[in-house]
Structure 1
Amino acid sequence: MAVQPWSNLLKSAKTTALIHDGRRKVHYLFTDGKEMAEEYDLMSDELIVRKWRSKSPLGAQGQWLIEVGDSLAPVAPLDPELIKENCTNPVFIRKDTKTSFQWRIRNLPYPKEVFSVSAEPSERCCIVKTSNKKYYKKFSVPDLDRCQLPLDCSALSFTHANNTLIISYKKPKEILTLEHELLRELKKLKATGEGDVDCKTQ
């Protein structure tokens, strides 16, 4: 089990926090130059956003890559003459709960019995597919990879409602313990008050 090395990595990172818009926003700067930013709901303590950024080989600041949460980047208005991206394409996002990692795939209008969701422990990924061959998706669970925890097929479940497939993976006790300890430490951080403060570490 390698929960400890990841926990140690978090503790060794330069961490800053601020409270804004009902959210606790935390920024980690790791010794290798990578950055991780998280946002928690102040009322429920649920993780709303987690994103990562690393520098390019030439030292330029890379784009933020979202691991948890919706991309809130405004979509640039497209010229009506140009081809638009189809708004009925499936949209894959991760939104966790306190006890589960959770993924939502919107715009999947097929009945539940068409879907199969499986964990592939040897490939360290989960696979979603449909019997009508209309959709296929392979995705990993970064939290388990970081802590080097095995994928447990029995932790996986799914449901389907309103054209959305909701996949849940029950968090193992090691992850729950780690998240509980982290949250306790984050609450001790002296957070800046309300206001648009950039939590980028200088």
Structure 2
Amino acid sequence: MSPKIYALLFLVGITYISAEGIAVNPAGAASSAAVVAAAAATASNTATHNALSPATKQRNTRGTSDVLPDKFYGNFELDRSENFDEYMTAKGYGWFTRKLVAFATFKKIFARTANKHLFDYSNLTSKKDVFYKNVGLGKKFEGEGLDSTKHEITFTLKDGHLFEHHKPLEAGEAKEETYEYYFDGDILLQKMSFNGVEGRRYYKKTA
């Protein structure tokens, strides 16, 4: 039990005793009652002061996980790949598709919007370009994939790593994919894995 509660009980006891002798000392009883009222008001004010307002609670629960870190913004061009063909083979992509991807150029652009919780994403290749506008972290949306079919797409952020998840919504060769992005020094590294086979792509920032 806290010291404040002990003090409040002690004052209540004094009031009770004073009330027994109210005919003898009415002024003392009134004074004791006033002290108890003041103590109760103080305790109430303390509790109210320590309680978080709804706005404060919302600010505290809104973390940085719904805001894309500054380092991701900019233009990034593919510099090299590592074990990427092996990864695509493990996923079941055919030879022709693998060669198209292997010889294509890739450029990724993360751009700011007026809302700090939203960003624009462009995936530019020598074969096809795709653009996603006003992307919110953790928010699913439908967009076109590089295979020209509709995908359900979600970007999420965890421990400073950005994840791009694609789930094809139409028939085609495209597979469900999750791409992980993080920085190794100044290099934006894209990593993907399937059945123990890991592929990596390294992007250099150009702007």
Q: For the superposition of Structure 1 and Structure 2, which TM-score range results when normalised by the shorter chain?
A: under 0.3
Asked which structure has the greater CA Rg, the reply is 2
Higher relative contact order (CA 8 A, sep 6+): 1
Using structure 2 for the length normalisation, give the TM-score.
Answer: 0.26
Using structure 1 for the length normalisation, give the TM-score.
Answer: 0.26
